[in-house]
């Protein structure tokens, strides 16, 4: 990483999401979804749906953090508690970082903050899905303590192409 990249990464702050962040959150999620590689959704959500998602997370105490650089949201990480009573101790992690901020430690900082908040909120387990071709993300999740728990062979199909889906989990 260049000196400029290091300065940029260190200037990124990680904090809990706030209602004032909804428009920027929606914009960033749309950009990452439209890459059509990393998330299960391939098109962004309308602003009202993003607002409902954020407001629900805040109301339920689901951890949701954002990465901010110069007043601009550049990434997010959320952990949503399962609504099923027998899985209420479990949360599912979702995240994304804008391309120009990847590989600078922003994702790891987001995950760490969200996991700390999940632990404080009484979560006992966090799980996630990562696509087989997304080896960088899988390596990051392993570095953060997640263990591979299984594979859904050809679990993803987009534009006629398959990819495996790896299930990963972390006990808190």
> Burial, 85: exposed, middle or buried (Cβ in 10 Å; 0-12, 13-18, 19+)?
exposed
Residue 49 has pLDDT above 90, yes or no: yes
The token pair that represents 87 in the structure block: 């899985």
Mean pLDDT, rounded, for 73-89: 96
Q: How does the average pLDDT of the chain come out, rounded?
A: 94
Is residue 29 within 8 A of residue 15, CB to CB? The reply is no
Which residue do the tokens 């972390």 mark?
A: 170
How remote is the C-alpha of 73 from its chain's centroid?
13
**Whole-structure pTM value:** 0.91
pLDDT tens, position by position, 120-143: 999 999 999 999 999 999 999 999
Residue 14: which H helix or E strand, with range?
Answer: strand 13-16
């Amino acid at each position: 990483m260049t000196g400029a990249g290091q300065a940029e990464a260190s200037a990124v702050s990680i904090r809990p999401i706030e209602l004032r962040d909804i428009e920027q959150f929606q914009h960033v999620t749309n950009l990452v979804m439209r890459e059509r590689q990393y998330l299960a959704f391939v098109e962004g959500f309308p602003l009202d749906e993003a607002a409902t998602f954020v407001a629900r997370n805040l109301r339920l105490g689901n951890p949701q953090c954002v990465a901010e650089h110069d007043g601009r949201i550049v990434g997010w990480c959320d952990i949503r508690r399962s609504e099923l009573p027998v899985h209420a101790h479990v949360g599912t992690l979702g995240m994304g970082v804008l391309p120009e901020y990847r590989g600078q430690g922003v994702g790891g900082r987001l995950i760490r903050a969200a996991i700390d908040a999940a632990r404080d909120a009484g979560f006992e387990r966090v799980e996630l899905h990562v696509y087989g071709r997304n080896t960088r993300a899988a390596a990051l999740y392993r570095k953060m303590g997640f263990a591979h728990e299984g594979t859904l062979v050809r679990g993803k199909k987009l534009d006629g192409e398959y990819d495996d889906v790896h299930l990963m989990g972390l006990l808190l």
